[in-house]
Amino acid sequence: MSEILSLVTMFVPLFLIVWIANVAEGRRQREQPYEGLALVAYIFLFVLYGLGVLAGLLMQFGSWIATLDPSLFESLGQEMPLASLPLLALGLWLPSLLGIILLLPPVRRLFARFTALNAESPVHAVALSLSMLVLVNLIMTLGIGLGNLADILASAEEEAESNTLLSLWVQQILTALLAMVGVGWLSRRSWGETLARLGIAMPSDREWLIGIGVGLGMVPVVLLIEALSSFLGMGANADVERLSEQLLGALFTTPFGILTIGLSAGLGEETLFRGALLPRFGLILSSLLFALVHSNYGITLSTLVVLILGLVLGWLRLRYNTSTAMITHAVYNMTLGLLAYLSTFNIDV
């Protein structure tokens, strides 16, 4: 239950910021004064990122002091290697500083030149700034170390599968709701208009077939990439495999767990990255953010695989709709989950 509360606590300020930005955007589109409300959203972000910059710089200073006197570091009882502190500090202050910089009008106008972002839109400004949270998450994960994270999870009390399932569903539902509020639901768009903006509609028979076909077709492509990389001496990263096992391993043991891996990702990640972000950020940038948000893969071959998947899903969004991408993502994840499940029984597939 504590993990659920942590997820909700993490999402609440994000909901508030994007909702205020959308109220301001609605006023801007109606040619009413909106600058005050937009400033409120920007101030919230400035405070959020300002705390990140401060914490990161303090951690950077602490790592410098600990380098001068390692005994002080040991006396604090820290388990994290001293060498990890500078990267952890960097993961806090640098993306936080960039998040603040991205709010500046000249920077927004620069991004508007090669994306569909509107430099005057408070919603687009907030979305661009919030993208730096992906970088915070990634660099912090790298700073801690995938192996260290796997060890931490392994040493912790083993959670019941039901808790893992619930946490994943809550996370993805909150992600989908954030995308909906982010494009104007509950402020300037009705439910139907929100779904239309996100590209979510009842799939046609053709879209079902395309989604299922592409999802199944991606599996042998990924397996071929992994086999080729192994042949070239660039096999799977052991830390990535250990961490993935700790995070999701329990879900591969039951049919409902496998369904959860596919359906929850299709709901949450597709609604945000393909539904909300792609039409404004473009195919490349939205796919890159999608790959980097999977910080449990670090920067490895698995990250490249996720990037390729994101590009394919983005193409489906552009060519058809988000619903087709949802089907593909769900089928792809569930097929890999099924293969992992069958492999535990030593069944040739």
Q: Which two tokens stand for residue 95?
A: 């993306």
> Would the pLDDT of 76 be above 90?
no
The full 3-state SS of the chain, as one line of letters, equals CHHHHHHHHHHHHHHHHHHHHHHHHHHHHCCCCCHHHHHHHHHHHHHHHHHHHHHHHHHHHHHHHHHHCHHHHHHCCCCCCCCHHHHHHHHHHHHHHHHHHCCCHHHHHHHHCCCCCCCCCHHHHHHHHHCHHHHHHHHHHHHHCHHHHHHHHHHCCCCCHHHHHHHHHHHHHHHHHHHHHHCCECCCECHHHHHHHHCCCCCCHHHHHHHHHHHHHHHHHHHHHHHHHHHCCCCCCHHHHHHHHHHHHHHHHCHHHHHHHHHHHHHHHHHHHHHHHHHHHCHHHHHHHHHHCCHHHCCCHHHHHHHHHHHHHHHHHHHCCHHHHHHHHHHHHHHHHHHHHHHCCCCCC
> Would the pLDDT of 80 be above 80?
no
Residue 310 CA to residue 301 CA, distance in Å, equals: 14
333 contact partners, CB below 8 Å, separation of at least 6: 261, 262, 265, 266
Residue 206 CA to residue 94 CA, distance in Å, equals: 46
* Contact between 38 and 24 (Cβ < 8 Å): yes
Domain boundaries, the chain: 1-144, 162-349
> Would the pLDDT of 142 be above 70?
yes
Percent pLDDT > 70 in the chain is 90
Residue 349 CA to residue 346 CA, distance in Å, equals: 9
pTM of structure:
0.92
Residue 94 CA to residue 59 CA, distance in Å, equals: 12
- Beta bridge partners, 185, equal 189
Average pLDDT in the 161-190 region? 91
* Contact between 236 and 301 (Cβ < 8 Å): yes
Could you report the per-residue pLDDT of 7-47, keeping only the tens digit for each?
999 999 999 999 999 999 999 999 999 999 999 999 999 99
Mean pLDDT of the chain: 89
* Contact between 180 and 194 (Cβ < 8 Å): yes
> Would the pLDDT of 160 be above 50?
no
Q: Which of 79, 95, 89, 93 is nearest to 59 (CA)?
A: 89
Could you report the per-residue pLDDT of 106-134, keeping only the tens digit for each?
999 999 999 999 999 999 999 999 999 99
- Beta bridge partners, 189, equal 185
Residue 97 CA to residue 100 CA, distance in Å, equals: 5
Q: What is the dihedral of CA 178, 184, 187, 189, to 10 degrees?
A: -130
Residue 307 CA to residue 218 CA, distance in Å, equals: 13
Could you report the per-residue pLDDT of 262-308, keeping only the tens digit for each?
999 999 999 999 999 999 999 999 999 999 999 888 888 889 999 99
Q: What is the dihedral of CA 268, 270, 274, 277, to 10 degrees?
A: 10
